[in-house]
């Protein structure tokens, strides 16, 4: 749906101070864990997507930075023979909003963990989850929920069944809506319809703690996905003993947001009552090979603009500064 009134918010004194404070605290956390800051240019000249804020610089079409991960990937692939293993970033990105209440200018802090292809990635995924677990406390959120998912739980069955791109897209859209009846509609007439419907039922049956993983046992693709299940189980075993008291850990088997980008484990941070996720990330091992570099990567991004909005609209969710 076209949005005719793009939202360009100004930050007044309290929000501006909060932004500076949060940005400094989060970058400090990342620095203490070995993440070094890179700052890609605000103006990008290549592969400008339609959702970006575009304009002409003379005869050249350019865009304001719309995504740190993409901007950093370009920078790293161009400028580094070997990737730095830990990278952090902070600043604004500019994107045309999908929903009318979303701002065009969005402040973010994030990090990326990059490794040579083939290196075991389990510890890197857990390292990112542990970092994300520390963030609600740093931001003063009274409580938060960390959702663990895995894009491969949907990607691999779709690939195994050889669905057409259109049908696969319809299945993913249905799962994104958590609508099993739409999965049935999307698969109508396909030989794998019954399997995919049963898989969708299994993915959507629970949204809870570690036992949610058991729901995968009911999927026809349980064997295909046993490595992913083991990986998630190991992550849970590593994270549950160090769970901060204000944080709840949930397994979301049907997390398909960004499925065209993410290839493995995904992370999403919510606050109870928040309308949008406050941080998100995951593993995206196809990004660098697509740029000619045999590297694998994972990362997350804290959406500071959403947190600033939340602090304005729901101050009850935050500890009040003493």
Partner 1 sequence: MNPASTILIAFPKGRLGDELVPKLAGTPLALDAAALNSRVLRIPTATPGVAALLLKGVDLPRYVAAGVASLGIVGSDTLDELDMDLLELADLGFGACRLSLCALAGVTLDGLRAKPHLRLATKFPKATEAWLTREGLTAELVPLSSSAELAPLLGLADAIVDLVQTGGTLQAHGLVETLVLGRSSARLVAARGAYLSEPGRIRPLAEALISALRRE
Binding site for partner 1 (CB under 8 A): 1, 98-99, 101, 145, 147, 177-179, 181-182, 207-208, 250, 252, 268, 270-277, 313-314, 316
- What distance in Å separates the CA atoms of residue 218 and residue 201, rounded to the nearest whole number? 9
Question: Could you tell me the smallest distance in angstroms from the CB atom of residue 42 to partner 1?
Answer: 28
For residue 17, the minimal CB distance to partner 1 (Å) is: 24
Q: CA–CA separation, 63 vs 95, rounded Å?
A: 10
- For partner 1, give the closer residue by CB, 124 or 254: 254
Please say which residue, 30 or 183, places its beta carbon nearer to partner 1. Answer: 183
Q: What's phi and psi for 239, nearest 5 deg? A: -95, -35
In the complex, least distance from residue 275 CB atom to partner 1, rounded to whole angstroms: 3
Q: Residue 284 region, left (φ>0) first, then alpha (ψ -120 to 50), else beta? A: beta
**C-alpha distance from residue 281 to each of 24, 100, 166 (Å):** 20, 23, 25
Distance between CA atoms of 114 and 188, rounded to whole angstroms?
41
Residues 6+ apart with CB under 8 A from 205: 215, 218
Nearer to partner 1, 161 or 252 (CB): 252
What is the enclosing helix (H) or strand (E) of 315?
none
Give the residue with the Cβ less far from partner 1, 47 or 98.
98
Alpha helices in the chain (DSSP H): 13-32, 68-79, 122-139, 152-161, 165-176, 180-187, 193-204, 226-239, 287-290, 304-313
6/97 with CB nearer partner 1? 97
Q: How far apart are CA 158 and CA 196, in angstroms?
A: 8
Residue placing its CB nearer to partner 1 in the complex, 40 or 136 = 136
Question: Shortest approach of partner 1 to residue 176 CB, angstroms?
Answer: 8
- Between residues 81 and 98, which has the closer beta carbon with respect to partner 1? 98
Furthest C-alpha separation in the chain: 62
Structure tokens at 17: 């101070």
Contact (Cβ atoms closer than 8 angstroms) between residue 167 and residue 186: yes
Report in angstroms how near the CB of residue 276 gets to partner 1 at its nearest: 6
> Could you tell me the smallest distance in angstroms from the CB atom of residue 64 to partner 1?
24
Q: How far does CA 22 lie from the centroid of its chain? A: 19
Nearer to partner 1, 15 or 143 (CB): 143
Shortest Å distance, C-beta 160 to partner 1:
26
Whether the Cβ atoms of residue 265 and residue 232 lie closer than 8 Å to each other: yes
Instruction: Tell me the closest approach of the beta carbon of residue 82 to partner 1, in angstroms.
Output: 38
- Taking the complex as a whole, the smallest distance from the CB of residue 309 to partner 1 amounts, in Å, to 12
Output the CA–CA distances (angstroms, integers) from residue 273 to 99, 121, 136, 296, 309, in the order listed.
19, 33, 14, 34, 13
Q: Nearer to partner 1 by C-beta: 33 or 182?
A: 182
């Amino acid at each position: 749906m076209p949005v005719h009134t793009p939202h360009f918010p100004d930050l007044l004194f309290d929000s501006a101070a909060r932004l500076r404070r949060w940005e400094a605290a989060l970058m400090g956390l990342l620095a203490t864990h070995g993440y070094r800051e890179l700052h890609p240019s605000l103006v990008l000249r290549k592969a400008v997507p339609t959702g970006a804020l575009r304009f002409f610089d003379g005869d050249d079409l350019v865009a304001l930075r719309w995504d740190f991960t993409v901007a950093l990937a370009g920078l790293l692939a161009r400028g580094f023979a070997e990737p730095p293993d830990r990278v952090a970033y902070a600043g604004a990105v500019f994107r045309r909003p999908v929903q009318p209440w979303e701002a065009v200018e969005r402040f973010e802090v994030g990090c990326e963990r990059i490794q040579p292809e083939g290196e075991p990635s389990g510890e890197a995924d857990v390292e990112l989850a542990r970092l994300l677990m520390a963030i609600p406390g740093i931001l003063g959120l009274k409580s938060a929920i960390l959702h663990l998912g895995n894009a491969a739980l949907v990607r691999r069955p779709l690939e195994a069944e050889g669905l057409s791109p259109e049908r696969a897209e319809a299945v993913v859209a249905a799962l994104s809506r958590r609508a099993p009846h739409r999965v049935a509609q999307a698969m109508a007439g396909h030989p794998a319809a019954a399997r995919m419907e049963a898989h969708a039922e299994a993915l959507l049956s629970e949204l809870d703690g570690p036992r949610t993983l058991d729901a995968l046992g009911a999927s026809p693709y349980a064997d295909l996905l046993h490595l992913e299940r083991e990986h998630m189980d190991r992550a849970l075993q590593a994270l549950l003993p160090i769970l901060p008291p204000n944080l709840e850990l949930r397994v979301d088997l049907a997390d398909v947001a960004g499925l065209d980008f993410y290839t493995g484990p995904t992370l999403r941070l919510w606050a109870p009552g928040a309308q949008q996720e406050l941080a998100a990330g995951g593993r995206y091992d196809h990004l660098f090979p697509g740029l000619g570099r045999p590297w694998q990567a994972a990362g997350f991004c804290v959406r500071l603009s959403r947190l600033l909005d939340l602090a304005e609209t729901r101050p009850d969710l935050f500890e009040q500064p003493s």
